[in-house]
Structure 1
């Protein structure tokens, strides 16, 4: 059974264009965007209030592209895009999107790198992507230079992106230096694209979060981002019209290097005329101050930050957060308990979730403000289809039956770079066309509104099998977080002679409980689970206290690292007698 967007979701007004680069689609009124003259400034720094207009971004893009062309010999209609790969390794900046569009202006490819990467991780991305140049945030210089050296990128092909609060080291040009150069250079030829080129040409080489094995490079075309921009904006347009929202100020905190921030914040929000208030990294005081000062109406966040807000009610009370209307949580499931805590603290906030992945570039399911169900990720986006494949390999034809979620969408990526095996395993074909096998277990259910909603259970490979029962780590994690002794947590499976597998919890102890005996805290947490969950969901693998839960920048728990830690500990301990 194929599921589609509910009847209230508008259709896309036209097919996503396949013959223009992404930057032209975002900036040109003729392609359906909110009129530029009626739009807010697209990017404003939440720390310094420095802002960029559309005309400034366009002129800076052209000048930067000219300077790069002169220095490297890159021409818009010469060489292939794979000869012109640029890596961006930086916190968010009001110039992040502009730098990317300058590379696209030269018909090149941008590979955004996680700003929290180690030198070794960045080196892997530089080498595997074939990056020829590196744009470094001034906060990332030390790691970036070490990786560039290992990858063979010389210093004269490393340029700096200025970040507030970080000094620029000597000896390197910044993008403003290059823009000044480019303003004195002759104009570039216009891009000469044929029909379909935007659909087959890579715009971004984005690396998956690496929850299993090394991160894989996902090839995302210009049309992929164009399509998802349209899908997300159209999906939200119904509720925005209902609540009288024309344009708004939205939060740009989540990394633009991650597909969630790159598509939704850096592109979709600006295409619909919103202003993105950019913050380089998460610090609670700066986030709360930005909400208050810029009267942010929509927050794009991830579960760890929202959990942090619920644990710091006193700090939150010092700021006026009344402007917030909608909170959109993504990248990992947000527990119903956390949503209830947020609703209690901020009764006027609507807290919804979305679902997507790098391979769907990005959102495929999203909560509309007018139709939120706490446990769900919302309804299917326009021009998107979904189906559930049961453990027997057959297509599920009724509601509330779990299975693997498959997605069909025009934003589905081209595949994995230099990895045909992974591409064929993830991007599959049947009589209904091309699908993305997500690897996530989900159900389709009817919300109280009567609309179909998608509920993500957990990663299929991470589900815990207890005497034939499936236990979702995310469900237990959400419940554990409702206990005052738990500041953060993660749940994995561990082997058990009688049950096959049982859950084990890694817990970061809340500061108020730091001096209490561990055995006492463990008993309290276990009791909390046993009073609310079925016996097969009890934490029979024990509780281990650790200092920090490993996570990706988007907030996804890296359970693989905890499984490796557990396996190493069990190997060291040896077999039980």
Structure 2
């Protein structure tokens, strides 16, 4: 049975991402604030944004960047992030956003895999980026500020060159190349075309219409597809004001909501938990916020209800994944009051869904849960240079999500379990295979498996089961891993076992470990 979003089809403008976000109406002379950081030390108007994006595109073109190239962007949230993103895209290149908390080795992997020819980095990440760029052979380096060995990004912003005339097909040209672990395995480059991203902006706008008079707080990172599409580009396309927060801390976030009079909030489950429990919430005036959307990981209903009582605005979930740009489901604003808490709402406009029995590959019986498959114009054409993973994830045009869902008679969906092995710590993807591969390089480890276990702060966290070759301390092993991965990937518990349970084909039986 195929479930359909409402409306069942949607018109997708034949535009590049930057044309859609910034080019549908002129920015010349528009002195409205497009982006401002939470403490108001940097602000960019729409007029400045349009001019700076054009100059950066021209500067990159002069450097030799052409359609089909890739430019890496490694930064925390700050107003100039938008200038870099759309300067890259306006030059015809694809942007590959990278977490600035990554180690040099992790950054180098993405630089190599993406084939980036230019890297743009925030100053705090520049030392690690320099080491990674050396390892990956990336010569062109710009810093969003001043840092030895990097040219200042201000050179591009101030070069005075016009944006190049580019000819790309929005339906096939890649605009963004984020790296995701998909349903299993190691991170893979997700090829998102201009059409994918523009379609998802149009789809989300049906149920979540953002006005030009709104203020969108951006604490969730722009390098994550949630922040990239749902906050940054949604806000700019609506000519709203986007307020950036470099690093989440509850008091800083609440102060941003209060002082900037934010109109809606974008949350992840750990933030909802803090809103439900932290005494500091009572010290701030949050009355300007009308509603909140939570994504990136499942949200506990009881926690959400407690948070709603504290803050005074409704919180509902959305659903998606990087491979879908990211949205596939939403609770429309006008249905917040009538949609059951705990659901992820309905399929987006122009999106189809199926529930498939993972054991048989046939559609699940009516009323029964099954793996959620979706299709629509927001779904990626495939992974970068990985036809095997693409074939396993895209089946006859359907995207296999790896999540088990159910749907009621009104077309409202619930996520009830998952097939995929990813661990979600504070909404960030932690692929167990990556940690297992790292642990197996330790001289005292014979075998290892990693699973997600409940975690009070992060929702879920990695726990390692280890077969040791000789005595080794759990804390020492966790410290060793922590030195080699981004902080959110750290192993937070270790249990030593005599063997790792595996299937006859060698697949780790994670459910037995859980």
Correspondent of 2:177 among 205, 220, 230? 205
Correspondent of 1:227 among 199, 202, 222? 199
Tell whether the 8 Å contact from 2:8 to 2:351 is kept in structure 1 after alignment: no
Correspondent of 2:99 among 114, 118, 143? 114
Tell whether the 8 Å contact from 2:478 to 2:492 is kept in structure 1 after alignment: no
- Counterparts of 1:118 and 1:109 in 2: how far apart (Å)? 23
Q: Which position in structure 1 is the counterpart of 2:166? A: 191
- Counterparts of 1:73 and 1:426 in 2: how far apart (Å)? 35
* 2:349 matches 1:354: no
128-137 or 209-218, which moves further after superposition? 209-218
Q: Which position in structure 2 is the counterpart of 1:141? A: 126
- Counterparts of 1:343 and 1:379 in 2: how far apart (Å)? 21
* 2:244 matches 1:278: yes
The correspondence of residues 321-470 of structure 1 with structure 2, limited to 5 A, is 321-346=286-311, 348-371=312-335, 372-390=339-357, 391-399=359-367, 401-429=368-396, 434-446=397-409, 451-461=410-420
- Counterparts of 1:68 and 1:40 in 2: how far apart (Å)? 27
- Counterparts of 1:436 and 1:138 in 2: how far apart (Å)? 38
Q: Deviations over 1:94-142 (max 9, x none)?
A: 1212212212222111111112211111110001111111101112112
- Counterparts of 2:327 and 2:285 in 1: how far apart (Å)? 30
46-55 or 127-136, which moves further after superposition? 46-55
The correspondence of residues 112-191 of structure 1 with structure 2, limited to 5 A, is 112-154=97-139, 157-162=140-145, 168-180=146-158, 182-183=159-160, 185=161, 187-191=162-166
By how many angstroms is 1:47 displaced? 2.0
Q: Structure 1: which 4+ aligned runs deviate by more than 6 Å?
A: 35-39, 544-548, 555-559
- Counterparts of 1:209 and 1:139 in 2: how far apart (Å)? 26
- Counterparts of 2:33 and 2:9 in 1: how far apart (Å)? 28
Q: Which position in structure 1 is the counterpart of 2:18? A: 23
By how many angstroms is 1:48 displaced? 2.1
Q: Deviations over 1:393-426 (max 9, x none)?
A: 2213523x11100001101011000100000111
Tell whether the 8 Å contact from 1:47 to 1:286 is kept in structure 2 after alignment: no
Q: Which position in structure 2 is the counterpart of 1:104? A: 89
Report the secondary structure of 1:290's partner residue. helix
Tell whether the 8 Å contact from 2:270 to 2:457 is kept in structure 1 after alignment: no
Report the secondary structure of 1:25's partner residue. helix
In structure 2, relative to structure 1, the CA distance for the partners of 1:547 and 1:352 (3 Å cut) is farther
- Counterparts of 1:132 and 1:341 in 2: how far apart (Å)? 48
- CA radius of gyration, larger in: 1
By how many angstroms is 1:572 displaced? 7.9
Tell whether the 8 Å contact from 2:31 to 2:45 is kept in structure 1 after alignment: no
Report the secondary structure of 1:289's partner residue. helix
- Counterparts of 1:386 and 1:345 in 2: how far apart (Å)? 35
Q: Which position in structure 1 is the counterpart of 2:5? A: 5
Correspondent of 2:281 among 310, 316, 329? 316
Q: Which position in structure 1 is the counterpart of 2:437? A: none
Q: Deviations over 1:205-263 (max 9, x none)?
A: 110057743211110001110000000011224xx7xxxx6631111111111111111
By how many angstroms is 1:506 displaced? 5.1
By how many angstroms is 1:41 displaced? 2.8
Q: Deviations over 1:487-512 (max 9, x none)?
A: xxxxxxxxxxxxxxxx99555599xx
The correspondence of residues 215-294 of structure 1 with structure 2, limited to 5 A, is 215-237=187-209, 247-294=213-260
- Counterparts of 1:388 and 1:572 in 2: how far apart (Å)? 35
Q: Which position in structure 2 is the counterpart of 1:73? A: 64
Report the secondary structure of 2:97's partner residue. strand
The two structures have a TM-score, normalised by structure 1, of 0.72
Residue ranges of structure 2 left out of the alignment (5+ in a row): 427-450, 459-473, 502-514
In structure 2, relative to structure 1, the CA distance for the partners of 1:247 and 1:280 (3 Å cut) is same
- Counterparts of 2:174 and 2:457 in 1: how far apart (Å)? 44
Report the secondary structure of 1:342's partner residue. helix
- Counterparts of 1:223 and 1:573 in 2: how far apart (Å)? 44
Q: Which position in structure 2 is the counterpart of 1:527? A: none
Q: Deviations over 1:428-452 (max 9, x none)?
A: 10xxxx1101111011124xxxx32
- Counterparts of 1:42 and 1:54 in 2: how far apart (Å)? 5
By how many angstroms is 1:51 displaced? 2.1
Tell whether the 8 Å contact from 2:355 to 2:370 is kept in structure 1 after alignment: yes
Residue ranges of structure 1 left out of the alignment (5+ in a row): 163-167, 464-472, 479-502, 511-543
408-417 or 90-99, which moves further after superposition? 90-99
- Counterparts of 2:157 and 2:32 in 1: how far apart (Å)? 24
Tell whether the 8 Å contact from 2:58 to 2:163 is kept in structure 1 after alignment: yes
In structure 2, relative to structure 1, the CA distance for the partners of 1:191 and 1:316 (3 Å cut) is same
Report the secondary structure of 1:309's partner residue. helix
Tell whether the 8 Å contact from 2:319 to 2:329 is kept in structure 1 after alignment: yes
In structure 2, relative to structure 1, the CA distance for the partners of 1:45 and 1:93 (3 Å cut) is same
In structure 2, relative to structure 1, the CA distance for the partners of 1:570 and 1:255 (3 Å cut) is same
In structure 2, relative to structure 1, the CA distance for the partners of 1:280 and 1:24 (3 Å cut) is same
